[in-house]
Amino acid sequence: MSSVGTPMLRKEDPKLLTGEGKYVDDIQVAGQLWMGMVRSPYAHATINSVDASAAAEAPGVHAVYTATDLLGMGLWIGPLPCAWPVTPDMVNPPHFPVADGEVHHVGEIVAVVLADDRYRAADAAELVVVDYEPLPVVASVADAVADASMVHSSLESNKAYHWPLIPDPDALEAAFANATHHVDASFVQQRMIPSAMEPRGVLAVPSPHGGDITLYSATQVPHILKVMVAATTGIPESKIRVIAPAVGGGFGAKLNVNPDELLAVTLANKLGRPVRWTETRSEAAFSTHQGRGQNQRIELAADGDGKLLGVRVHLDADMGAYMMLITPGVPLLGSFLYTGVYAVPAFGFTCDGWFTNLTPTDAYRGAGRPEASYAIERAMDILASKVGIGPDEIRRRNYLAGGEHFENLDVPSTLTFDSGHYGPSLDRALELAGYGDLRAEQQARRDGGSTKQLGIGMCTYVEICGLAPSRALGGLGYGAGGWEHATVRMLPTGKVEVVSGSTPHGQGHETSWSQIVADKLGVDPADVEVLHSDTAISPLGLDTYGSRSLAVGGVAIANACDKVVEKAKLIAAHSMEASADDMEFDGGMFSVAGSPDKAMAIQEIAFGAFTAHDLPDGMEPNLQEQTTWDPPNFAFPFGTHVAVVEIDEDTGNVELQNYIAVDDCGVQVNPMIVAGQVHGGIAQGVGQALWEGANYDEDGNCTNPSFMDYLVPSPTEMPNFTLDFTVTPSTSNPLGVKGVGEAGTIGSAAAVINAVCDGLSPYGVTDIEMPATPQRVWRAIQDGKGGAS
């Protein structure tokens, strides 16, 4: 019986749900010192002086280091890394773990206290006196574009880079010249504060015998972190071990290389004592990168029937104060998707990256792709109303391949989509939503003068998963490859040990990988142990982000299993005195074709490979194989989401009443895990649409840094989602899998805001800024009523 495709309960959960999971903060070591950060309250200021004398005398304090002290100690041989210089001339001001004479965002570290516990560290940090000279603040992209004052005093412009993707400029010009309908829309992708359940944390432990250091980090990327720590500190890579223990969510915010990690490693190394830090929630709004932060302009050119002729996009993207690991590349991850699921003859995209005196931005669930999906899907609704047809019809008229099944299709943004079949996804979503009845009820409410308007919104998204073909990353200027490594070894007892370079932080890899291995080797999933997230155990890997784990890491494991079976087959043939060509393998048993009574279990062969008493001549003992899978192409999952909202005209409140998602992530390994990813993803996208958004005042202070003001939706706010799936196997890998970690987020913000705008259309409202708060919606209604009278 196949394990792949069954909703097996997660192996990880008993431990996690009973509090037995060990997170960084749970790991206690003798002699540890806590870091307490002194952070800038100014978004931009010169540091005149730092007086740490009182803090140094405070009880329990081991040492206080000012930024000047630290920069003078030779701890770092280079600044924090940016692995994605998107253009050769990209501006990238040096970014050290502590501010060098000038602070550039609220929360930048200006001094570090080391104390016996975190309470004393926090108390002493308050005693450090810093004399700041405030400088003009660039508190928004609009401020940055104005270029009146500089984010860093050393800059001549706040613009970091200009990145164009215009495959055929003449064709693009012609498309707009020939258009009957022209949509010109601007949207704001507000800054999002990633809010993983577990905050970030770090513990650096020098080994008692000297020379080696173990870094425990709440990270998505232990392997990348290891390389980057080596490159930044000069500590040889071979001396660094990075362990990501249980990690409580990341959503992109844990794929960075952060000041706190580099401080902990180097101070622990210097002092010979363990050094640790756990982020508080209040710090998280300043000390962890944020997501989104784009001002988008999208133009559509269409003929009289609403058939797209061209799409033109410009982004002004908010980098924040510094380039973090992939800050500049995030908008580019979306650049290829601004034509969405549609056949578009001409395409042009430009992005200007701008510095601001705000916390740096970087990847956040979907990273560039939700932004792209939002822009094109909002614009398609506007086009539909210009043409005078429904949002479903405008989509049908423009789907790639006419909504029919396709494979390996070139799209104008220069990519080749692996496979797609968009028509059935829309059909099914509308059917599950009861679309016809909803429209009838909507009309009845409007006719009856109801103050509770119904809004129905849809979105057909496509996204890029399986990051990534290493050559493609090279072409984009990214500083690493996109392969993944796997080792599969059968142990003498017949159990299977899998070593994966993919690093889970909640996704359930141990379960999914066990299912793949169970089918490939014909063993019980319970007999598969998955090792990961420790660079000493799993030395090769490129970690978890961009919905890549299954389509890259999972495929690597499957391929390694195939190699194990190939070797086992040779041993089986040798033992059974048959030709390897005549061997059959099914359900974990090797047999000779035509003689079903003669069979050997793979466990038996594994033991034989271990004893090595009777192996074919020249064969190495043990049953262990490894592979590195570098995918030939990305994978392109897709789906259609439908949101139904009720809008209270009197209060402006938007209630999400129903949500239907029909996703296609190719072949599914564990449908329960898939559904879980879709659920969480939807909630996160709905969060952006209706609740969340970091708000800044003109001085660059975040005015809603706590969970009291930064509203992350809870289950109470979510309706029961209706999920369904279509299955269009990927052509990019032998498993036919695509990836689903970000899909929900990529489809949901657009669907919800399309629903809100649909519901508000009787008031003449055509757009609403995210998050669509009650006050914003109420005001839009008032403005609409005023405009109508």
Partner 1 sequence: MIPASFEYVEAASADAAIAALTEHGDEAKLLAGGHSLIPLMRFRLATPGVLVDIGRLDDLSYINDGGDHIAIGALTRHRALETSDMLAAEAPLLRHVASQVGDPQVRHRGTLGGSLAHGDPASDLPAALLAMGGSVVAKGPGGERVITADDFFTGFLETALGEDELLTEIRIPKAGGAGWSYQKFNRRAQDWAIVGAAVQLGANPGVALVNMGPAPMRAGGVEAAIASGSSAADAAAVAAAGTEPPVDLNGDEAYRAHLARVLVERGLIEAQT
Chain residues in the site for partner 1 (CB under 8 A): 118-119, 122-123, 126, 280-283, 650-651, 653, 691, 695, 703-704, 706, 708-709, 711, 713-714, 716-717, 773-775, 778-779
List C-alpha distances in Å: 111 to 94, 99, 115, 260, 693: 18, 9, 13, 12, 29
Torsion sign (Cα): 506, 511, 515, 518: positive
Which alpha helices (DSSP H) does 210-365 contain, by range? Answer: 222-233, 259-271, 281-287, 330-335
Our CB check for partner 1 shows the closer of 408 and 703 to be 703
Q: Is the peptide bond before 771 cis (omega within 30 degrees of 0)?
A: yes
Contact 740, 677 (CB under 8 A): yes
Our CB check for partner 1 shows the closer of 1 and 197 to be 197
CB of 653 to partner 1, least distance (A): 7
Contact 314, 190 (CB under 8 A): no
- Residue 457, strand partner residues: 643
Could you count the other beta carbons within 10 Å of the beta carbon of residue 297? 15
Our CB check for partner 1 shows the closer of 281 and 598 to be 281
Torsion sign (Cα): 675, 681, 682, 683: positive
CB of 760 to partner 1, least distance (A): 17
CB of 368 to partner 1, least distance (A): 27
Q: Please report, as a single letter, which amino acid is at residue 252.
A: G
Q: How many residues does the chain have?
A: 789
Residue with tokens 């903060």: 25
CB of 589 to partner 1, least distance (A): 53
CB of 243 to partner 1, least distance (A): 25
CB of 706 to partner 1, least distance (A): 8
Our CB check for partner 1 shows the closer of 117 and 133 to be 117
Contact 563, 627 (CB under 8 A): yes
Query: In 364-516, where do the E strands start and end?
Result: 406-410, 416-420, 452-462, 484-490, 496-500
Our CB check for partner 1 shows the closer of 611 and 651 to be 651
d(CA 395, CA 381): 9
DSSP state of 80: P
CB of 124 to partner 1, least distance (A): 11
Please count the CA atoms within 13 angstroms of the CA of 401 that sit on its side-chain side. 17
- Residue 317, strand partner residues: 294, 353
Our CB check for partner 1 shows the closer of 59 and 88 to be 59
CB of 651 to partner 1, least distance (A): 6
Our CB check for partner 1 shows the closer of 704 and 766 to be 704
Our CB check for partner 1 shows the closer of 25 and 381 to be 25
Our CB check for partner 1 shows the closer of 163 and 691 to be 691
Our CB check for partner 1 shows the closer of 2 and 716 to be 716
Angle between helices 422-433 and 435-447 (to 10 degrees): 50
CB of 604 to partner 1, least distance (A): 54
CB of 32 to partner 1, least distance (A): 17
Strand 181-192 and strand 275-278: the pairing is unpaired
Contact 185, 766 (CB under 8 A): no
